[in-house]
């Protein structure tokens, strides 16, 4: 059986970033750049005042000097002339420092008279001046291709004079839940029936990861129903299925997709929960088959679907970030499957965070997963560990889960 | 001057959560519940099989026993009868366990004959059965009011049979940038002019925080322009201004808003960057006045606007979460203002993360802020600290920034 890392590597290898599209700056938040963003302007565009005060020549900067105020240059209204000996120009934060001047004295350090100021302190050469280009120079690469744009990057692209940005199109992810026993929320439930939760939980995760989910109607438990559900699949970057992928007689997804020419890459991963994961290609569309149990489906989505989305968006598709936290309880030795234990995170006796796996790790218990703060990663054949031993933890509150 | 915590407390105290609205389940991701979500069904709805196998009576469970297979019950198709002595019913993962049976043996542990199975191992009473209600019981509170809905909560609400959820309306945040020197990206730039970055960076942050931003046209540097900009302000939960709030002659925001009846709550906070922060109320609309420097504006937005958004969304409006990380360089003693140092986070000599403030902390340098991983919090009058001392850090990559 494949390891989790091998499975992820094979999934990522089968994916290509989506095409670039141009979006207006305000729509680019959370998107991933498809090309580098270069500065179109120099910032600041000239030497500018960092404070409200007066521009003068440093040679006139001794305390007690009286200067003639020859101009007044609010931000956006530069002084047209040059500051000569014995002269000063009134400036504000963001005003251009006029020609001739090489320092700024703040208004608190002068005494204003009738058309004059007298320096109450010495002016320092260069002080309170933001130099031309100190933030960035025109032509500089400010944001690399393949960067997810946060609010700061949006601000930086704006400052660099970009009303539009080229980003990867949102990957469209079709989601197919299978099962005779499941109904959509609010719809009639049959005997022994349960309400479908996987498709909409996965759709929410796709949205969190920057994709565009498309939830297909539930496919009933026949190969024909599954084959029908994917008959007209188009304009889709990936198909995600849930359920119908385990060992029994009713394993439908491989069979149903097989009728449409599905080529299996791998089936089964040495992990818990989520062993019956499958991956392959159907008519050029990558297919990720997740288990039907809600916990298994969501854990596998964190480990494989979010990295796949990243890759489709032009990011590397790395493993979810983990942090090391000390255990709040001891854990037993692990078998050959990589284990992802649902756990709470709370301060221990010393006040720092500890991670404590739940006693019960049943892969059908969504309520337990929803109240978990993280997943403790237990590697294959990992030894028993005592209280306080550091373990890698995927924090679930940092991935939109 | 107010402390950062006092300022935040006063802002939060002036805000009320927005009204509830009903949204379809798929639209509820990232929203905040306005009432508790109770289970409308019991999950599982009956005792169900956790595996593919056979249901039988534990009394018949000795290895070597041959049983008659009297029924076949796929998930969603419960067996109508009762399992008697010497009988078994074929089940699959998610099948209802039929009346009479009290254990399940997995298919790998039987030898199937013609209408019979012979147990190759002993069956354990209760084994491989998911008990009715083991995940949740009808009527149980699954999600508290005031919870931000992640993908797991969406799945849980689906499983609990909710096609709709009641959530707080997205707060609408009007954003007003002021200045004669600024232009929107791509528009003509005057002499000494710079491209406006604050409004769209803040709009992105509002979106990241779950709000609905509305960027107003730039107001020029007169009181009349500012007063005009807010003349018809309606349907807005908060007005955020940037610029025009510092000490000089061109302090416009207080003056311009004052012409419309603005009531100031406070002005100036003992912090760096961002001292000239103001807060008040204009015709019932809370007004948060941010500084004009891009770094100051964004740092203040993290410290005050995101908590304000949280509060409007029905969350507590707490300070941004910080983590303790060891310093990569020594830092000097701090003065009376709480300092937020832009810093990188990278592994130190021992492989664990260290935080290293940039040498240059100029509040106009957006490029530096965009490349920072976190903000190191230096409390007022904090002592000098050596390399390795733990300091609180707000990670900027966890807040949509």
pLDDT exceeds cutoff 70 at A399:
no
Looking at the structure, tell me whether residues B175 and B305 fall in a common domain: yes
Contact B215 A162 (CB under 8 A): no
Give the pLDDT confidence score for residue A246 in this predicted structure: 64
Residue A208 to residue B151: CA distance in whole angstroms: 8
- Please list the residues that pair with A165 across neighbouring strands: A23
* Residue B318 is assigned to a structural domain of this protein: no
Domain containing B107 equals: 48-130
Give one DSSP letter per residue of B71-108, joined into a string. EEE-TT---SSB--TTEEEEE-TTPBPPBT--EEEEGG
Enumerate residues 203 to 222 of chain A having a beta carbon within 8 A of any beta carbon in chain B: 203-205, 207-208, 213, 215, 221
Residue A186 to residue A336: CA distance in whole angstroms: 41
Looking at the structure, tell me whether residues B253 and B346 fall in a common domain: no
Q: Is the distance from CB of B19 to CB of B32 less than 8 angstroms? A: no
The DSSP output letter for A283 is T
Return all residues near B239 (Cβ < 8 A) that are at least 6 apart: B173, B174, B175, B176, B230, B233, B282, B285, B286, B287, B288
3-class SS at B109?
A: helix
Best of A51, A110, A204 to mutate (most B CBs within 10 Å, chain B): A204
Give the pLDDT confidence score for residue B187 in this predicted structure: 96
Pairing of strands A103-106, A116-119: unpaired
Looking at the structure, tell me whether residues B96 and B124 fall in a common domain: yes
Q: Is the distance from CB of A107 to CB of B249 less than 8 angstroms? A: no
The DSSP output letter for A334 is P
* Residue A55 is assigned to a structural domain of this protein: yes
Residue A279 to residue A7: CA distance in whole angstroms: 9
Contact B367 A136 (CB under 8 A): yes
Give the pLDDT confidence score for residue A253 in this predicted structure: 85
Looking at the structure, tell me whether residues B199 and B298 fall in a common domain: yes
Instruction: Say how many C-beta atoms besides its own lie within 10 A of residue A5's C-beta.
Output: 12
Q: Mind listing the pLDDT tens digit for each residue in A310-346?
A: 999 999 999 999 989 999 999 999 999 999 999 999 9
* Residue A363 is assigned to a structural domain of this protein: yes
Contact A45 B192 (CB under 8 A): yes
Of B113, B130, B147, which residue constitutes the final position of a domain? B130
* Residue A318 is assigned to a structural domain of this protein: no
**Is the Cβ of B202 closer than 8 Å to some Cβ of chain A?**
yes
Give the pLDDT confidence score for residue B240 in this predicted structure: 97
Residue A167 to residue A32: CA distance in whole angstroms: 5
Give the pLDDT confidence score for residue A249 in this predicted structure: 45
pLDDT band per the 50, 70, 90 thresholds, residue A56: very high
Looking at the structure, tell me whether residues B142 and B176 fall in a common domain: no
Token pair recorded at residue B37: 């979500």
More confident residue, B148 or A191: B148
Give the pLDDT confidence score for residue B249 in this predicted structure: 45
Looking at the structure, tell me whether residues B87 and B111 fall in a common domain: yes
Token pair recorded at residue B222: 């007169």
Give the pLDDT confidence score for residue A390 in this predicted structure: 95
Which phi and psi (to 5°) does residue B143 adopt? -135, 125
Contact B367 A142 (CB under 8 A): yes
Of B287, B312, B337, which residue constitutes the final position of a domain? B312
Of A95, A155, A186, the CB nearest to B200: A155
Residue B232 to residue B217: CA distance in whole angstroms: 13
Which phi and psi (to 5°) does residue A295 adopt? -70, -45
Contact B370 A143 (CB under 8 A): yes
Give the pLDDT confidence score for residue B255 in this predicted structure: 87
Looking at the structure, tell me whether residues A299 and A340 fall in a common domain: no
Instruction: Say how many C-beta atoms besides its own lie within 10 A of residue A335's C-beta.
Output: 13
Query: Cis (ω within 30 of 0) for the bond into B44?
Result: yes
H or E element that contains A12: helix A4-13
Rounded to 5°, the CA angle B119-B121-B125 comes to: 90
* Chain A contact set for B181 (CB, 8 A): 75-76, 94
3-class SS at A145?
A: coil
Residue B147 to residue B313: CA distance in whole angstroms: 10
pLDDT exceeds cutoff 70 at A88:
yes
Give the pLDDT confidence score for residue B399 in this predicted structure: 65
Q: Is the distance from CB of B316 to CB of B310 less than 8 angstroms? A: yes
Of B34, B273, B25, the residue nearest B155 (C-alpha) = B25
* Residue A109 is assigned to a structural domain of this protein: yes
* Residue B93 is assigned to a structural domain of this protein: yes
Rounded to the nearest angstrom, the minimum Cα separation between B380 and chain A is: 23
More confident residue, A190 or A29: A29
Q: Look at chain A and count its residues.
A: 401
CATH number at residue B118: 2.170.190.11
Looking at the structure, tell me whether residues B227 and B298 fall in a common domain: yes
Q: Is the distance from CB of A45 to CB of B181 less than 8 angstroms? A: no
Burial class (CB in 10 A: 0-12, 13-18, 19+), B23: middle
Give the pLDDT confidence score for residue B246 in this predicted structure: 63
Distances, alpha carbon B196 to alpha carbons A140, B184, B361, in Å? 19, 5, 21
Looking at the structure, tell me whether residues B219 and B344 fall in a common domain: no
**CA count, 13 A, side-chain hemisphere, A22:** 3
CATH number at residue A342: 2.40.340.10
Chain B nearest-CA residue for A72: B249
Task: pLDDT tens for chain B, 401 residues: list them.
Answer: 899 999 999 999 999 999 999 999 999 999 999 999 999 999 999 999 999 999 999 999 999 999 999 999 998 999 999 999 999 999 988 899 999 999 999 999 999 999 999 999 999 999 999 999 999 999 999 999 999 999 999 999 999 999 999 999 999 999 999 999 999 999 999 888 999 999 999 999 999 999 999 999 999 988 899 999 998 888 999 999 998 766 554 478 888 998 899 999 999 999 999 888 999 999 999 999 999 999 999 999 999 999 999 999 999 999 999 989 999 999 999 999 999 999 999 998 888 899 999 998 888 899 999 999 999 999 999 999 999 999 999 999 776 78
Token pair recorded at residue A237: 């970057």
pLDDT exceeds cutoff 70 at A182:
yes
Rounded to the nearest angstrom, the minimum Cα separation between B77 and chain A is: 7
Mean pLDDT along residues A140-153: 97
The DSSP output letter for A27 is G
Of B292, B312, B332, which residue constitutes the final position of a domain? B312
Looking at the structure, tell me whether residues B141 and B197 fall in a common domain: no
3-class SS at A181?
A: coil
Token pair recorded at residue B272: 């760096």
* Chain B contact set for A247 (CB, 8 A): 52, 107
Helices H / strands E in chain B, number of each:
8, 26
CATH number at residue A192: 3.40.980.10
Residue B17 to residue B171: CA distance in whole angstroms: 9
Question: SS in 3 state form for A84-122?
Answer: CCCEEEEECCCCECCECCCEEEEHHHEEECCCEEEECCC
CATH number at residue B160: 3.90.105.10
* Chain A contact set for B249 (CB, 8 A): 52, 92
Q: Is the distance from CB of B78 to CB of B97 less than 8 angstroms? A: no
H or E element that contains A55: strand A53-56
More confident residue, A312 or A248: A312
Of A53, A375, A196, the residue nearest B75 (C-alpha) = A196
Of A94, A130, A298, the CB nearest to B152: A298
Looking at the structure, tell me whether residues B174 and B278 fall in a common domain: yes
Q: What sign does the CA torsion over B26, B30, B35, B39 have? A: positive
**Is the Cβ of B15 closer than 8 Å to some Cβ of chain A?**
no
DSSP E strands, A273-369 = 278-282, 285-290, 323-326, 338-347, 353-357
Looking at the structure, tell me whether residues B261 and B383 fall in a common domain: no
- Please list the residues that pair with B71 across neighbouring strands: B89
Give one DSSP letter per residue of B163-207, joined into a string. SEEEEEPPPEEEEEEB-SSEE-TTS---TT-EE--HHHHHHHHHH
Q: Domain total for chain B? A: 4
Mean pLDDT along residues A108-116: 95
* Residue B295 is assigned to a structural domain of this protein: yes
Chain A nearest-CA residue for B215: A26
Token pair recorded at residue B61: 């469970």
Give the pLDDT confidence score for residue A337 in this predicted structure: 96
Residue B155 to residue B29: CA distance in whole angstroms: 10
């Amino acid at each position: 059986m494949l390891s989790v890392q091998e499975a992820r590597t094979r999934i990522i290898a089968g994916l290509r970033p989506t095409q670039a599209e141009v979006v207006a700056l305000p729509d680019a938040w959370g998107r991933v750049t498809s090309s580098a963003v270069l500065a179109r302007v120099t910032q600041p565009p000239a030497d500018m005042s960092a404070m409200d005060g007066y521009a003068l020549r440093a040679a006139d900067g001794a305390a007690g000097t009286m200067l003639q105020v020859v101009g007044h240059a609010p931000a956006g209204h530069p002084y047209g002339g040059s500051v000569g000996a014995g002269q000063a120009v009134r400036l504000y934060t963001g005003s251009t420092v006029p020609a001739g001047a090489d320092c700024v004295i703040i208004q608190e350090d002068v005494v204003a008279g009738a058309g004059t100021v007298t320096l109450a302190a010495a002016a320092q050469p260069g002080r309170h001046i933001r130099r031309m280009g100190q933030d960035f120079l025109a032509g500089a690469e400010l944001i690399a291709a393949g960067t997810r744009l946060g609010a700061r990057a949006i601000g930086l692209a704006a400052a660099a004079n970009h009303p539009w940005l080229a980003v990867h199109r949102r990957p469209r992810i079709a989601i197919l839940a299978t099962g005779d026993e499941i109904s959509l929320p609010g719809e009639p439930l049959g005997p022994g029936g349960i309400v479908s939760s996987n498709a909409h939980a996965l759709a929410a995760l796709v949205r969190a990861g920057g994709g565009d989910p498309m939830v297909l109607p539930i496919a009933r438990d026949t190969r024909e129903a599954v084959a029908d559900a994917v008959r007209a699949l188009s304009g889709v970057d990936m198909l995600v299925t849930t359920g119908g992928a385990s060992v029994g007689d009713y394993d439908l997804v491989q069979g149903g997709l097989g009728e449409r020419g599905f080529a299996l890459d791998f089936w089964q991963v040495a992990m818990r929960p989520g062993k019956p994961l499958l991956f392959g290609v159907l008519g050029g569309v990558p297919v990720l088959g997740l288990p039907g149990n809600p916990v298994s489906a969501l854990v596998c989505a964190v480990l494989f679907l979010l990295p796949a989305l990243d890759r489709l968006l032009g990011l590397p598709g790395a493993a979810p970030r983990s942090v090391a936290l000390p255990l709040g309880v001891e854990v037993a030795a692990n078998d050959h499957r990589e284990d992802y234990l649902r756990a709470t995170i709370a301060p221990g006796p010393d006040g720092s965070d500890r991670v404590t796996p739940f006693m019960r790790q049943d892969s059908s218990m969504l309520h337990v997963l929803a109240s978990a703060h993280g997943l403790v990663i237990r590697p294959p054949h990992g030894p028993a560990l005592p209280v306080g031993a550091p373990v890698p933890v995927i924090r679930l509150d940092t991935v939109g889960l």
